[in-house]
């Protein structure tokens, strides 16, 4: 087993991994950005290293900085958690090449094979795993989209090769939409995954999202094994399925297991298909094989889907999943520990015959979002009250403490509530009790939405599909739940109080430490003319109608400042200084909540200044374009 593991992540998943390490007697190292210097994962770790500024690309996504932190700490392994660099095959290869550091995850070659969706489809097809009708090679021309639609019918899904979670996926309802959707999917693929390759699939109208958790041993890891020994089905263990059909904009919000919709025969078929596919891909460590299962809209809730129900391979997530906790509650198997055992060469501690699923479990993602406002993420807040639920069958994975400020630079999920019981009916009842106990004030969350779902007929019956929230749920009910049970985000502090940061270098027993001291109300430290000591990239000046200082940009009388209506990332800037734009013209495209949003000019005019570039992160209210 390893001596020290660096967790290349933040928040609740970093703490989750560190807890498993602690139980195995392994020391832990955290990495953090400037925005996370007071984060819960930093508090929990044995030691912590700063890897850069708040922007993820300059910190958590800086593979070189993460590996260097591991070297500095003397870590002999890196666990990526999920998100950030977890599915980055290049980063995995960098760790594999680093002397004395082990990658806790599948080999980079396997990640690359399965990360390319068209290649993954070919692997699964060869392994006799059903795949959705679609292309096995990337498409580049709009004619390929329309020809596919003519052959298989509309709607057609255009998907980015490196995509996931709805990013880089566009649905084409008719030939007229093909060109714009193709360009949009390619643009998102390039922006998020540095890969503008896309492929096509038939878009299913009534799909359920069912995924199988697997863990796979490395047959080449033992001392007497052939270094080139391939993975076989006997090396792969499936730990049952999870149903993740309750989604908004292709993002999961509630996950449960076992699926309330599957018969035992269909469940076994899907599990065995996952084992075959993973073995064919020569895949080791933990992963999730995702499937789409065609729901029967006329099905009686008491009659599960039978063995003749069509199901199709969707993708493999080459990492641990957010919802791995559901499987842990059903099986009693610590998936993170199994990851560490495989990576260290110890091998799995379980076989397929050891796996037994008991009871029912549901996970609720506690997102800092306003479900009544189209799940818009909070842009500020402070946990004035944080008192999570407890009792039998209740688990909370978080990294929070009462009084913490909400960090809005990253994903909006701040905690996970996992509830387990003897059967689904009891689990739903226990979930009601646990959500009612969850006392969280100062940050808007989707807890009221979750409480609404526990009385929703379609969800309780288990007949919902992935489209239910987006296309069928009554939005007025969501607003009423937020009004009844919700809390608003508070201001994150007294903006009028000046905060001065002072930096010191101290020595303790000969070891150097950099110490930062925050003083509230203290006089500012003089800065030499021409700038400070840091070399970090500065945000562009923000426009204002008042003369607030040298960096302010005035909006001329009668002009217009086009502002960001939500926090997000700039995908494209469609105008330059001097361009003429009319009312309603698109000036840039903003990605937020996994969706592209056209930012338009309300009145029109001449572009006086552009304040953002492609790839910039912006907050709600930031000025993007100034017109005169």
Q: What is the pLDDT of residues 94-146, one digit of tens each?
A: 999 999 999 999 999 999 988 887 889 899 999 999 998 888 788 999 999 99
Q: What is the pLDDT of residue 290?
A: 96
For 427, phi then psi, to 5°, come to: -65, -40
Q: Tell me phi and psi for residue 420, to 5 degrees.
A: -125, 145
SS (H, E, C) 194-231: CCCCEEEEECCCCEEEEEEEEEECCCCCCCCCCCCCCC
Among candidates 166, 158, 153, which has minimal Cα distance to 140?
158
| Token reading at 597 | 């949003």
**Which among 352, 199, 328 is positioned nearest to 275, based on CA atoms?**
352
Q: Rounded CA gap, 463 and 458, in Å?
A: 6
What pLDDT score does 621 carry?
77
Query: What is the structure's pLDDT at 496?
Result: 53
pLDDT value for 487: 86
Give the three-class secondary structure for 257: strand
Q: Strand locations in 271-367, DSSP E?
A: 285-294, 311-317, 360-367
Q: Among candidates 80, 69, 16, which has minimal Cα distance to 47?
A: 69
Sorted by sequence, the CB contacts under 8 Å of residue 191 that are 6+ apart come out as 569, 571, 591, 614, 615
Closest CA to 110 of 36, 220, 203: 220
Task: Confirm if 382 and 443 have CB atoms less than 8 A apart.
Answer: yes
Hunting for tokens 């990332």 — which residue is that? 569
Over residues 405-414, the pLDDT tens digits come to 999 888 899 9
Closest by CA position to 57, among listed 36, 84, 35: 84
Quick: pLDDT tens for 280-301: 999 999 999 999 999 999 999 9
Kindly tell me the number of DSSP H helices and DSSP E strands found in the chain: 16, 32
Please name the residues in contact with 216: beta carbons below 8 A apart, sequence gap of 6 or more: 231, 235, 236, 237, 278, 279, 283, 284, 285, 286, 287, 342, 348
pLDDT of residue 541: 45
Whole-angstrom CA distances from 278 to 220, 283, 325, 587 are 16, 6, 21, 45
* pTM of the predicted structure, to 2 decimals: 0.78
Q: What's the farthest any 2 CA atoms get from each other in the chain? A: 79
Establish whether the linkage from the previous residue to 155 is cis, with ω within 30° of 0. Answer: yes
Residue 66 to residue 91: CA distance in whole angstroms? 10
Rounded to an integer, what distance in angstroms lies between the CA atom of residue 500 and that of residue 304? 62
478: its two tokens: 């969501």
Please identify every stretch of the chain with a pLDDT value under 70, giving residue numbers as ranges.
Answer: 162-166, 222-227, 491-514, 516-554, 567, 592-596
């Amino acid at each position: 087993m390893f001596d020290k593991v660096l967790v290349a992540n933040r928040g609740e998943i970093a703490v989750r991994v560190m807890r498993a390490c602690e139980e195995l007697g392994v020391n832990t190292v955290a990495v953090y950005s400037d925005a996370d210097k007071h984060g819960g994962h930093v508090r929990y770790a044995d030691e912590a290293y700063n890897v850069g500024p708040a922007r993820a690309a300059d910190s958590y996504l800086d593979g070189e900085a993460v590996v260097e932190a591991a070297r500095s700490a003397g870590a002999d392994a890196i666990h990526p958690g999920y998100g950030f660099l977890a599915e980055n095959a290049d980063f995995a290869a960098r760790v594999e090449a680093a002397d004395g550091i082990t990658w806790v995850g599948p080999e980079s070659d396997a990640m690359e094979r399965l990360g390319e969706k068209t290649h993954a489809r070919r692997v699964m097809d060869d392994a006799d795993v059903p795949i959705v009708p679609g292309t096995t090679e990337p498409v580049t021309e709009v004619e390929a989209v329309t020809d596919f639609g003519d052959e298989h019918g509309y709607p057609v899904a255009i998907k980015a090769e490196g995509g996931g979670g709805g990013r880089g996926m566009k649905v084409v309802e008719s030939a007229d939409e093909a060109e714009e959707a193709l360009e949009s999917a390619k643009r998102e693929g390039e922006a998020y995954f540095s890969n503008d390759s896309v492929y096509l699939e038939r878009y299913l109208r009534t799909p359920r999202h069912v995924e199988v958790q697997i863990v796979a041993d490395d047959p080449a890891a033992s001392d007497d094994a052939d270094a080139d020994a391939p993975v076989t089905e006997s090396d792969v263990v499936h730990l049952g399925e999870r149903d993740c059909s309750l989604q908004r904009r292709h993002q999961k919000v509630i996950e449960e297991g076992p699926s309330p919709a599957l018969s035992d025969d269909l469940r076994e078929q899907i599990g065995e298909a996952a084992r075959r596919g993973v073995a064919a891909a020569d895949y080791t460590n933990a992963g999730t094989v995702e499937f789409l299962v065609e729901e029967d809209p006329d099905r009686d809730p008491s009659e599960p889907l039978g063995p003749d129900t069509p199901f199709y391979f969707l993708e493999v997530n080459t990492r641990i999943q957010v919802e791995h906790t559901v499987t842990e509650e059903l099986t009693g198997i610590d998936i993170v520990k199994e990851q560490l055992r495989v990576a260290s060469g110890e091998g799995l501690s379980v076989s397929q015959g050891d796996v037994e699923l008991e009871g029912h479990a549901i996970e609720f993602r506690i997102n800092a979002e306003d479900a009544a406002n189209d799940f818009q993420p909070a842009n500020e807040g402070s946990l004035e009250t944080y008192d999570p639920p407890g009792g039998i069958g209740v688990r909370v994975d978080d990294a929070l403490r009462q009084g913490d400020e909400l960090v809005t630079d990253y994903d909006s999920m701040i905690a996970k509530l996992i509830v387990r019981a003897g059967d689904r009916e009891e689990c739903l009842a226990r979930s009601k009790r646990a959500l009612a106990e969850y006392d969280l004030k100062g940050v808007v969350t989707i807890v009221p939405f979750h409480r609404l779902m526990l009385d929703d007929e379609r969800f309780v019956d288990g007949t919902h599909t992935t489209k239910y929230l987006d296309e069928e749920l009554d939005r007025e009910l969501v607003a009423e739940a937020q009004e009844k049970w919700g809390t608003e985000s508070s201001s994150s502090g007294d903006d009028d109080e000046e905060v001065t940061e002072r930096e010191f270098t101290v020595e303790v027993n000969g070891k150097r430490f950099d110490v930062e001291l925050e003083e509230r109300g203290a006089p500012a430290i003089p800065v030499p003319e021409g700038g400070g000591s840091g070399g970090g990239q500065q945000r562009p000046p923000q426009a204002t109608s008042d003369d607030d200082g040298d960096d302010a940009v005035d909006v001329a009388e009668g002009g217009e400042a086009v502002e960001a209506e939500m926090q997000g990332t700039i995908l494209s800037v469609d105008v330059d200084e001097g361009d003429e734009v009319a009312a309603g013209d698109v000036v840039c495209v903003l990605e937020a909540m996994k969706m592209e949003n056209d930012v338009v000019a309300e009145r029109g005019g001449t572009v006086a200044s552009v304040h953002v570039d492609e790839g910039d992160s912006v907050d709600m209210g930031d000025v993007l374009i100034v017109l005169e």
